Amino acid sequence: MKILVISLLRLGDAIMHLKLIDEIRRAHSNAQVDMLVNSEASHIKAISHNIDEVLTFPRKELQRSLANSNECFFNSYDRLKTWVSEINNRNYDMIYDFTNTVLSHNLYSLLATRLSKKDSLASYLNTVFSISKRTSFHYIDAVRNSHASTLKPQELATAELRTNKMISVQPLTSDKKKNWGIGYYQSLIKNLEIEFPDYKIAILGSPFEENVLRSHFSESKNVKIEVLDLVNLEFHLWESDLLITGDTAVAHLAAQCKTPMLAIYCGSADPYKTSPYLKNVYVVHSEEICAPCGHSTDCTQPRHMCSESIRQEDICFIVSYFLKYKIWPDKQFAFHSYLTDSSETKQFLLRDIHDEYASFKNKSRQIYWQQNEVSSIPKISNKFFFELQNTIENIDSALNIVAEFESELSNQLTADSSHSLMSKISEFERYVDDYDLVSLLKNSLKLHTKSDYFQSESDLDLLSKILKNKRMLYQYYCKQLRERGFVDVSGSRELS
């Protein structure tokens, strides 16, 4: 059997697709599996044993020909037609399209096969996934689910803890907006050099990034700029204790090498869609209301707020903590921090560390209250009780705002109602000091303006559920305190 896999996105996507090619190989062990890629990914065979042949789509040649004012349109037309017939002459039995673009869809239709491999979720990929909408699927899971009849998920690999004293840093990405910022990386590397003098630090880059890297980073005894090809990069990543990177091809290659990672996702990088497909990766994401934005479009903000909100000191803390204790910190920061995981159904999962941290704190407090006598709770004061009651009142006010929000959104949005909703968000922020929940409210408005009624309603529904749960929890705390003799705020009695 001859199988062709179409992977016509960037190098990082092609590297991610290798995971699925492994699954194809598992399903068809004796088949010839070829991969169709753009020329920039033509070396991918060197890092995969499961590809028999790599075919290159003449994207650049066609683009050059179409853009040349001295060339005839029929040159490109005939060239593509000839190329398609050459591929068809190879007589593939089965073609998987992992790309899901208008281009790949049409190419897929041009390539004649006896069996076509696309399931019902393929339309989901085309209509929902390819545009900037929130999705609960990781890109790999979404592609796999669209070929669910043949591809079965395997257990997600976990990052390996290593002690080779090597830190790798990939500061640049394919899109300027996805970069955290060279200045931040410079300070981070300087700090790491001082704090971990026994570690080697490799600054990674591709040949076309070398000049930028050399102009911004200086090499020293422990810091080296490494411009490597795919094979050597893979070797290097197998040796690294930690990779600090944005949403890059290197991150996806590191996922294949099970390298522990701190992934800093800014701009168009969407951690839900394209986080490294590996368990126990720490992903940092600044959730500005405009993020994640479209790839290769201009930033709509006056400043690069995505990267500015991720403080260099915090990243330095996370890296230091990991290198010292070999676990990720559960500290709360002013940005989103996630840990990658897998669900019971072997799907990729992004766990919000803040939520886990908060629930951990609440849980441990509950256990503490249940297991100890009143007299042994020394730190709970009337101030805390007052804060609890105040929090419950604030939650009630916030719930009212959510209800008002829902009723406003059920009508047609006008300039006045939009203004009123914006002021409700500010009011909500006064009552709820929780970045996630405010983002959820903001997001429901954002989705609604994009005419996605269903999504905006489900966001509001989720928001009120979370608030109601919080209220129940705080009411429970109050009840517990009352039962233990603390009755009244005005009484100013403190538990001894």
Partner 1 sequence: MRLVSYEGVLLCSQRDPLKEAERWCLDIPNFSHIIVLGLGAGYHVETLAAKYPQSHIHVFDHRKTLVDSFNSFSKISNVTVKVLDLDKIELDSFFCSENAYKYAKIFYPSVQSNYGQYHKLQKTILARDPLVFEHRAKQSGIDCLNWDKIKKFDEINIKAIYECKSDATQTDPARIIIILRELVK
Give contact residues for partner 1 (rule: CB under 8 A).
59, 62-68, 70-78, 80-81, 84, 101-103, 106-107, 109-110
* Nearest approach, Cβ of residue 355 and partner 1 (Å): 40
* Nearest approach, Cβ of residue 147 and partner 1 (Å): 22
Instruction: Specify the DSSP class assigned to residue 158.
Output: B
What CA–CA distance (Å, rounded) separates 69 from 53?
A: 35
CB closer to partner 1, 84 vs 225: 84
CB closer to partner 1, 118 vs 448: 118
* Nearest approach, Cβ of residue 69 and partner 1 (Å): 9
* Nearest approach, Cβ of residue 62 and partner 1 (Å): 5
Burial track 189-202 (b if 16+ CB lie within 10 A, e otherwise): bebbbeebeebbbb
CB closer to partner 1, 106 vs 469: 106
CB closer to partner 1, 67 vs 415: 67
Which uninterrupted H or E stretch holds 32? strand 32-38
CB closer to partner 1, 31 vs 62: 62
* Nearest approach, Cβ of residue 453 and partner 1 (Å): 28
Closest-CA residue to 342 (of 142, 149, 491, 141)? 141
The amino acid occupying position 475 is Q
Residue partners of 137: CB distance under 8 A and separation at least 6: 129, 145, 272, 273, 347, 348
Q: Are 149 and 121 in contact (CB under 8 A)?
A: no
CB closer to partner 1, 67 vs 131: 67
* Nearest approach, Cβ of residue 17 and partner 1 (Å): 20
Q: Are 167 and 202 in contact (CB under 8 A)?
A: yes
CB closer to partner 1, 61 vs 330: 61
Instruction: Specify the DSSP class assigned to residue 155.
Output: P
What does the DSSP assignment read for 238-273? HH-SEEEESSSHHHHHHHHTT--EEEEE-TT--HHH
* Nearest approach, Cβ of residue 415 and partner 1 (Å): 33
